[in-house]
Chain A
């Protein structure tokens, strides 16, 4: 095999390797980040039910943890996902804190539902399915 042939073969294999790595990393990163958000949403719901409202330290602490976890993952997700698609999720998470401060339960749970809905639609939108391909 000539030098050019070896160069092409190595490049071909390297490109395939890069594509596989990107696909796997993206899948894991998106799935993990969204699962974390979903998990926090359910925990916040349960905590608010147990405490009989949103004005409790536990709910506030869970919302803080959700925000911290999201901020940590958002930076990584920006490598893979259109920034505009995840922007709204961040905004809704920040709103949760304001609703706790102002004790606006209805808006709080609406925001929580919006976050859950975003997460679910993302999971559909990001996954490799026949519907998404077409």
Chain B
């Protein structure tokens, strides 16, 4: 049993490392060759874990070989568009201003129901609302609505708005995030001052505290409703 435990740890760490090296991808955003790689790696990695008579190298070597192959394919895809389209396919327009393209659906081997499911996922319930729908190489649908069905934007309204800012977490589940304090350009003393102002006694009681470039503070204690504070702008917050 100890052998299995140790092998499981070795293989887990190796696969984890290899996925870090290969880069982050959500399962739904994978290209076909990445999906194939993931499925094979998952299968190969379990062989030496389940079968003690198989050397652990019999699991490691094929996984490493696939990773090398992945690097090479990724590199070739990045330098050659032709190779990239051969490997991952090309985005296909399934809905155009004339309606659904039946030929494209046939080529993609998908049904009208699949198209409807995908466009509903994008927030549209009628083909009439759509100017173009494109099936991306990772299997996701991108939709461009007709102008009269597109959501109104600030630009359409010609409004002047402040630039969007990202709030930075400074306290998370009772712990001060020191790295984020640096980004927000504040110190622990300032955090404590804000907590005192909000009548919070201990950092431990804070579930979440964020601060943005404009000095808006969001503060929520465990088991309580959140409160917002406004403080002076604390230097320029890095974006």
Contacts and interface: CB of A to CB of B under 8 A. Distances in A.
A80 B55 CA distance: 6
B21 A84 contact: no
A19 B55 contact: no
Interface residues of B, number: 13
B21 A19 contact: no
Interface in B44-66: 52-55, 57-58, 61, 64-65
A78 interface: yes
A124 interface: no
B116 interface: no
Secondary structure of the A side of the interface? Answer: helix
Given A7-B21, A8-B21, A11-B21, A19 B68 contact: yes
Interface of A: 7-8, 11-12, 15-16, 18-19, 22, 78-84
24 contacts: A7-B21, A8-B71, A11-B21, A12-B21, A12-B68, A12-B71, A15-B67, A18-B64, A19-B61, A19-B65, A19-B68, A22-B57, A22-B61, A78-B55, A79-B57, A80-B55, A80-B57, A81-B55, A82-B54, A82-B55, A82-B58, A83-B52, A83-B54, A83-B55
Given A19-B61, A19-B68, 17 more contacts: A7-B21, A8-B71, A12-B21, A12-B68, A12-B71, A15-B67, A15-B68, A19-B65, A79-B55, A81-B55, A82-B53, A82-B54, A82-B55, A82-B58, A83-B53, A83-B54, A83-B55
Interface of B: 21, 52-55, 57-58, 61, 64-65, 67-68, 71
